[in-house]
Amino acid sequence: MNQPEKRRKVAIVGPYPPFRGGIAHFTEQFHVHLDRVETAEVSGFSFSRQYPGFLFPGKSQFADDAVAQIDSVKLVDSVNPWNWKSAAKKVIQHGVDEVVFMYWMPFFAPAFIRMTRVLKKHGVRVSAIVHNASPHERQPFGSFLSRTFLSQCDRLIALSGTVKRDIEALGVRNEVFISHHPVYGQFGDPVDKAVARRRLGLGEEGNLLLFFGLVRKYKGLDILIQALAQTDKSVKLVVAGEWYEGKVEMGKMIEDLGLSDRIDCRDQYIPDADVKFYFSAADVLVQPYRNATQSGVVQTAYHFGKPSIVTGVGGLPEMVEHDVNGWVVKPEDPEALAKTIDLFFTDDNAERLTRGAAQARADFSWESFISNFLK
């Protein structure tokens, strides 16, 4: 008689809702989908303190409307060294075989390094899912801290080829596996475009672009604003996300270019319950990034069957197949972006690329990501 396969006990360490943002969404969805596998037993450990308040540039670290799907243990204090060893020991007490850290910036490396040393001393395997190996903004000793932590891991999973190259550029010699960011489906099903636009107070007519997420300089919203001024006047833009940088400067740019009636800026973190309305209302997502590693926003767009126009930086061209489910354009070139936007709304391009985006939803599934992880 065949013996039943031993269940693999996996602990996940990373931010869980009500912490907000893409990493928290990813951590939770990874846990949810891994927990559905019969051969895995999953426990989740979040932060008791993720960032000190004075270091956080936004209005809040927490999403007011977040409904946690996972009852994670609030365990890791990122800035308290006396917490790190005890946190690792509490994870070990759960009898885990493997701990998976979510890694995206060197700020967390000291805590993770200390925890990893304790875990490995007790025979626990350590893996990291790497969202970013190098942060968008330089941090003191960032390369050293990232290299030290990642070199200690038994397994590294990069969410794009760009992330893998960044890991290798740090001097990390461990083998790195690539498994692309899956589609986000936790925000609900698409709704009718006209219904979504009415819900958001947007005009039902006209062509609508969506810029979604926290507004940071590296995301290139100023480039999109300049491009919009060169497009057909029927094209409008909704900016859905809290402004971290450049609000005054870009506000003046919008006014100087006479775009106030074509750009609707929602300076707020978008509640999970409203995400479906923004993507359903839009015709196309635009990400004019100056640099990037990968993007959960593109994968959210795919879930809602929306194509993307992205710049050819970082891992974005790995996620958007040019002229199949979106278009890839030259970075920091408003004129090229404007021509691409106008082209999207001519002939059958919008319809054709929308079909491609619906197919991409199946190509980047969580089932495939979990299968790769378990191998």
3-class secondary structure for the chain?
CCCCCCCEEEEEECCCCCECCHHHHHHHHHHHHHHCCCCEEEEEEEEEECCCHHHCCCCCCECCCCCCCCCCEEEEECCCHHHHHHHHHHHHCCCCCEEEEEECCHHHHHHHHHHHHHHHHCCCEEEEEECCCCCCCCCCCHHHHHHHHHHHCCEEEECCHHHHHHHHHCCCCCCEEECCCCCCCCCCCCCCHHHHHHHHCCCCCCEEEEEECCECHHHCHHHHHHHHCCCCCCEEEEEECCECCCHHHHHHHHHHCCCCCCEEEECCCCCHHHHHHHHHHCCEEEECCCCCCCCHHHHHHHHCCCCEEEECCCCHHHHCCECCCEEEECCCCHHHHHHHHHHHCCCCHHHHHHHHHHHHHHHCCHHHHHHHHHC
Looking at the fold, whether 149 and 269 belong to one and the same domain comes out as no
Q: What is the pLDDT of residues 240-256, one digit of tens each?
A: 999 888 889 999 999 99
In a domain, 231, yes or no: yes
184 assigned to some structural domain: no
Residue 186, domain member (yes or no): no
Domain boundary residue among 148, 179, 210?
179
Reply yes or no on whether the pLDDT at 54 is more than 60. Answer: no
Longest dimension (CA), the chain: 77
Q: How many CA atoms lie within 13 A of 336 on its CB side?
A: 12
Confidence (pLDDT) at 58: 60
Task: Give the tokens for residue 195.
Answer: 């219904």
Q: Write the pLDDT tens digit of every residue in 282-308.
A: 999 999 999 988 889 999 999 999 999
CATH number, domain of 311, equals 3.40.50.2000
Last residue of a domain, one of 128, 149, 179: 179
Q: Which band of pLDDT confidence, cut at 50, 70 and 90, is reported for residue 21?
A: confident
Which residue range(s) make up the domain with 146? 8-179
CA 353, CA 100: separation in Å to the nearest integer?
36
Here the CATH number for the domain that contains residue 101 is 3.40.50.11930
Residues 142 and 200 reside in one and the same domain: no
Give the pLDDT mean for 329-343: 98
Tens of pLDDT along 107-157? 999 999 999 999 999 999 999 999 999 876 677 789 999 999 999 999 999
- Predicted confidence at residue 137, as pLDDT, reads 65
Q: Are residues 16 and 78 in the same domain?
A: yes
List pLDDT tens digits, range 185-227. Answer: 889 999 999 999 999 999 888 999 999 998 999 999 999 999 9
The residue that leads in pLDDT, 267 or 200, is: 200
**64 and 211 part of one domain:** no
Query: Looking at the structure, do residues 36 and 150 belong to the same domain, yes or no?
Result: yes
Cα of 13 vs its chain's centroid, Å: 17
Average pLDDT over the chain, rounded to an integer:
92
Q: Is residue 185 part of a domain?
A: no
Query: Residue 65: pLDDT above 80?
Result: no
| Of 361 and 223, the one with more pLDDT | 223
Asked if residue 362 has pLDDT above 80, the reply is: yes
Of 62-71, 87-96, 305-314, 356-365, the poorest mean pLDDT is in 62-71
Q: Are residues 175 and 197 in the same domain?
A: no
Query: Do 284 and 307 form a contact (C-beta atoms < 8 A)?
Result: yes
How many domains are there within the chain?
2
Instruction: For residues 86 and 233, state if they share a domain.
Output: no
* Whether 342 and 200 share a structural domain: yes
Whether the per-residue pLDDT at 64 is higher than 80: the answer is: no
Residues 239 and 354 in one domain: yes
Average pLDDT for 330-353? 97
Q: Is the pLDDT of residue 25 over 70?
A: yes
Find the range with the poorest average confidence among 83-92, 129-138, 252-261: 129-138
% the chain with pLDDT above 70? 94
Residues 325 and 201 in one domain: yes
On whether residue 226 sits in a domain, the answer given is yes
Look at 39-43, 65-69, 110-114, 124-128 and tell me which has the smallest mean pLDDT: 65-69
- What share of the chain has pLDDT > 90, as a percent? 79
Whether 375 is in a domain gets the answer no
Q: What is the pLDDT of residue 244?
A: 86
Distance CA 319, CA 299 (A): 8
Q: Give CA–CA dist 317/56, Å, rounded.
A: 30
Query: Are 173 and 199 contained in the same domain?
Result: no
For the residues 172-176, what does the mean pLDDT come to?
95
Same domain flag for 234 and 165: no
> Which residues neighbour 100 within 8 Å (Cβ) at sequence distance 6 or greater?
10, 11, 12, 13, 30, 127, 128, 129
| Residue at which a domain ends, from 149, 179, 209 | 179
Distant-in-sequence, close-in-space partners of 215: CB < 8 Å, separation ≥ 6: 221, 239, 241, 242, 243, 244, 245, 246, 247, 250
In a domain, 73, yes or no: yes
